Amino acid sequence: MWRCVHLYGPTVERTPGFVIVNWFIYSKGAFMQVIRLTAAPHGFGETVRRDNWWTTPLLVFVVFSSFIVYATWAAFQNAHYEYGPYLSPFYAPVLWGDSAHAWFGPQPTWWPALLPFSPALLILPFPGLFRFTCYYYRGAYYKAFWADPPACSVGEPRKRYLGENSFPLILQNVHRYFFYIACIFVVLLSYDVWLALWFPDGAGGTEFGIGVGTLVLLVNVVLIASYTFGCHSGRHIFGGRNDEVSKSPLLSACYDCTSSLNRRHMLFAWCSLFSVAFADIYVRLCSMGIWSDWRIL
Amino acid sequence: MDATFRLWRSEPGGAGALTDYKTPVSEGMVVLDAVHRIQAEQAPDLAVRWNCKAGKCGSCSAEINGKPRLMCMTRLSTLDLNKPVIVEPMKTFPLIKDLVTDVSWNFSVKKTIQKFKPRQPDAPDGTWRMAQKDIDRVQEHRKCIECFLCQDVCHVLRDHGKHDEFIGPRFLLYAAQLEMNPLDTADRLHDLKDKHNIGYCNITKCCTAVCPEHIKITDNAIIPLKERVVDRFYDPVTRLLRMFK
Ligand code: SF4
Ligand code: SF4
Ligand code: FES
Ligand code: FES
C-alpha cells in the first residue's frame, strides 16, 4: 500500500512486519525520483548494533518489576510497618490504622468490606503515580516495558505509534500535580525522621537517641528530597518557565538548585527507589525480630 | 595493521549492499580517515560527505556499527577492529549514494518554525540588555552543528516515519532556543502542540545519547517545552491564572 503524505517528504509503505519509508523527491510539483532507504532494521529487536543494548532495558525491567511486586505485597500486609519510633515510608503518614502514628484513629467504617484494609493503600498511590508520571521513569519504562523503542536504533515490535500526543499517554501531563503532592510527602517523611529521634525511655516518656533505623530513614528522606526537588516540572515552576529568571534573585537561586539536582535526576530516581524499599525492609525485619536495631546514641 | 570496513555501496536503481574493504590502519586514525583511504586506493567512486574533519560541520554523519555517529570523531581505537567495522548511511533520510543521504527535509522543516522576533530595543541606540545567566541557557542549544544524528536516531522518525507530523529533536531544540531567548516575543507553543506534535516525543533520550555536541536535548529543550505546553494547554490552574492576568 502506498500513501503520499505531503509535497516533500516520505511515504510509508506497510507490509507485514516492516515499515519501509520511501522518499519521493519532488521538483516543481512533479516526481523526479524515488529513492528507497537502505535496509533500515524494523523488525522487533533488529539492529546492526554490536553492544549488549538489551542489558539496560532488562535491568530496568527486572528492578522496576521487583519493586512493584515488593511494594504491592508490603502495602497489603498491614503489619510490621513500625518499630519503636520508626515508621516505614510505605505507610507514612498513617491516616487510619492500628498504630500509635495514626492521625485519625483505627480503620474507618466506610472502608469497603471487600477490600483488605491497609493504611499504605491510601498513601502509596501518590508517590507511586509521582514516579509513574516522572519524565525519567517514563522514558525508562517506555523502553523496558513497552519496547518503544527497546533501545536506541533497535527495531520496535509495533507499527502504530501515538506517543504522548493523544489518549492515554497525554494524561502524563498531570505530572506537576503529583509533584506538588510529593513535596508534601517530603515534609511528612522529614517529620518522621524527627520522630525517629525520640525513643521510649521505659518510664512512659521519650528520650533523645539515634539508632541505625534513624539513619536509614534520614538517608531515605534526603534521597527522596533530592529526587523530588530535581523534578522537571519543579524546575519549570522554579524558574524554567521564566525567560529572564535572573531578574528575581530568589527564583534564580531556586532554579540553580533544582537544575543541579535535575542533572542527577536519574541517579536520585534509582537511589531513592532502593532507599525507600530498604527503609521498609529495615523496619519490617526489626519489627519481625529478624534484625535488631542498633542504638548509636 | 589491517582492518576491514564494511561499507554500504548503493547500486543503480535504489538497491545496494554492504561491501568489505580491507585497508591498513594506524594509531590516531578515525573512521573518516579509513573511508578516505579506501576511496583513494580502492573505490574512487565511493560517495562520502565531509568538510571539516573536526566535528564541527556536521557533514559526515553515518551509522557506525549500528550507532549514529560522526565519522570524523569516531576513533578507530574505540572500535573492535577484529570484526569488520560496519559503516552505513543514516537510515531516516533518503539515500543519494553510498554513504550520502539527502537531509534537505530538515531544512524544509526549519522553515516551518516561527522566526526570532525580538522585543523593542531596550536602549535608545537600538540595543538590548540581557543577563549572561539568561542567555547561557540558550547558549547550549546554539552549539548544534546540524549533523542530524539526533533526527536519524529518533524512533518517531526512524521507525514510525512520522516526518510529515513531527519535527524531530533537532527542531524541538531549535524551537526551544528561540522560545527561551529572553528577547524573543514570538509564540510557538500552539505550533509545537498541534503542528509540530511535541507530544510524539516519549522522552526516551536517544537524541541526547548520540549528540556529538553533548547537548542535553531532552532535558534542557524538549522537556522544558513540554512543560510550557502543559502550562498553556493542559494545566487548569495556570489557564485560570492567565485569565485573571
Ligand atoms: S527523546 Fe524524544 S525526540 Fe529524542 S529521540 Fe526520543 S522520542 Fe525522539
Ligand atoms: S542537536 Fe546534536 S545531534 Fe542533533 S543535529 Fe544538533 S548537534 Fe547534531
Ligand atoms: S520529572 Fe522525575 S519526578 Fe518529575
Ligand atoms: S567532517 Fe565535519 S563533522 Fe565530520
Cell output for A86: 520508626
* Residue entry with cell 493504611: A119
Please give the Cα distance from A215 to A196 (Å, whole number): 9
Rounded to 5 degrees, φ, ψ at A114 are -75, -25
Residue B57 CA: nearest ligand 4 atom is: 2
Q: How many CA atoms lie within 13 Å of B40's alpha carbon, on the beta-carbon side?
A: 8
**Which of B110, B211, B214, B220 has most ligand 2 atoms within 8 Å of CB, for mutation?**
B211
- DSSP states of A257-291: HHHHHHHTHHHHHHHHHHHHHHHHHHHHHHHTTSS
Residues with CB under 6 A from ligand 3: A 134-136, 175, 179, 231-233, 265
Rounded to 5 degrees, φ, ψ at A120 are -65, -30
Distance from CA of A74 to the nearest CA of B (A): 30
Among A267, A14, A58, CA closest to A158: A14
Option in B102, B159, B209 nearest A42 (CB): B159
Are B224 and A164 inside 8 Å of each other by CB? Answer: no
Are B134 and A244 within 8 A, CB to CB? yes
Are B3 and B25 within 8 A, CB to CB? yes
Option in B94, B162, B204 nearest A139 (CB): B204
Spell out a b/e string for B95-104, using b for 16 or more CB atoms within 10 Å of the CB, else e.
Answer: bbbbbbbbbe
Are B227 and A241 inside 8 Å of each other by CB? Answer: yes
The series of mean pLDDT values per 10 residues for chain B, 245 residues long, is 95 86 97 98 96 97 98 98 96 93 95 96 95 94 98 96 96 98 97 97 98 98 98 93 86
Residue A163, C-beta contacts closer than 8 angstroms, at least 6 positions apart: A169, B156, B197, B199, B200, B201, B202
- DSSP states of B99-154: TEE--HHHHHHHTTSPPP-B-S-SSTTS-----HHHHHHHHHHTT-----HHHHH-
* Residue entry with cell 499517554: A169
Are B156 and A10 inside 8 Å of each other by CB? Answer: no
Cite the beta strand spans of chain B per DSSP E.
2-10, 16-24, 61-64, 67-70, 85-88, 95-97, 100-101
Question: Beta partners for A27?
Answer: A30
User: Contacts of residue A47 in chain B, CB cutoff 8 Å?
Assistant: 66
Tell me, using a 6 A CB cutoff, whether residue B82 lines ligand 1. no
**In angstroms, what is the span from residue B150 Cα to ligand 1's centroid?**
8
Are A207 and A198 within 8 A, CB to CB? yes
Q: How far is CA A164 from CA A133, B7, B81, B201, in A?
A: 11, 37, 41, 7
Cell output for B11: 547500486
Please give the Cα distance from B149 to A37 (Å, whole number): 16
pLDDT value of position A102? 83
ipTM: 0.95
Tell how strand B100-101 and strand B95-97 pair up.
antiparallel
Cell output for B82: 577484529
The residue in chain B having the minimum alpha-carbon distance to the alpha carbon of residue A40 is B91
**In angstroms, what is the span from residue B59 Cα to ligand 2's centroid?**
11
When scoring A8, A21, A172 by the number of chain B Cβ atoms within 10 A, the one with the most, hence best to mutate, is: A21
Cell output for A127: 508517590
Cell output for A240: 524554567
Residue B49, C-beta contacts closer than 8 angstroms, at least 6 positions apart: B59, B60, B99, B100
Peptide bond into A168 cis (omega under 30): yes
Tell me, using a 6 A CB cutoff, whether residue B169 lines ligand 1. yes
Tell me, using a 6 A CB cutoff, whether residue B205 lines ligand 1. yes
Are B108 and A8 inside 8 Å of each other by CB? Answer: yes
* 3-state SS track over A3-42: CECCCCEEEEEEECCEEEEEEEEEECCEEEEEEECCCCCC
Distance from CA of B26 to the nearest CA of A (A): 23
Residue B50 CA: nearest ligand 4 atom is: 1
Among B29, B34, B71, CA closest to B50: B71
Are B156 and A161 inside 8 Å of each other by CB? Answer: yes
The residue in chain A having the minimum alpha-carbon distance to the alpha carbon of residue B94 is A37
Are B86 and B18 within 8 A, CB to CB? yes
Quickly list H helices, A24-174: 55-77, 119-123, 125-132, 135-144
Strand, coil or helix: what is A240?
helix
Question: Beta partners for B245?
Answer: none
User: Contacts of residue B223 in chain A, CB cutoff 8 Å?
Assistant: 135, 232
Residue B223 CA: nearest ligand 3 atom is: 1
pLDDT value of position A99? 81
* pTM, full prediction: 0.91
Are B130 and A244 inside 8 Å of each other by CB? Answer: yes
When scoring A5, A22, A37, A154 by the number of chain B Cβ atoms within 10 A, the one with the most, hence best to mutate, is: A37
User: Contacts of residue A249 in chain B, CB cutoff 8 Å?
Assistant: none
Please give the Cα distance from B205 to A222 (Å, whole number): 27
Spell out the per-residue pLDDT of chain A, length 297, in tens.
223 333 333 444 433 333 344 444 433 333 333 344 444 557 899 999 999 999 999 999 999 999 999 999 999 999 999 999 999 999 989 898 888 788 988 888 888 888 889 999 999 999 999 999 999 999 999 999 999 999 999 999 998 999 999 999 999 999 999 999 999 999 999 999 999 999 998 888 899 999 999 999 999 999 999 999 999 999 999 999 999 999 999 999 999 999 999 999 999 999 999 999 999 999 999 999 999 999 998
User: Contacts of residue B102 in chain A, CB cutoff 8 Å?
Assistant: 23, 25, 35
Are B20 and B5 within 8 A, CB to CB? yes
Nearest CA to ligand 3 atom 4: A231
Are B227 and A243 inside 8 Å of each other by CB? Answer: no
Nearest CA to ligand 2 atom 7: B144
User: Contacts of residue B197 in chain A, CB cutoff 8 Å?
Assistant: 163, 165
Are B227 and A176 inside 8 Å of each other by CB? Answer: yes
Residue A228 CA: nearest ligand 3 atom is: 3
Q: Which long-range contacts (CB under 8 A, 24 or more apart) does A65-70 make?
A: A67/A273, A67/A277, A70/A277
- DSSP states of A157-212: S-S---TTSSTTGGGGGGHHHHHHHHHHHHHHHHHHHHHTTEEE-SSSSEEE--BH
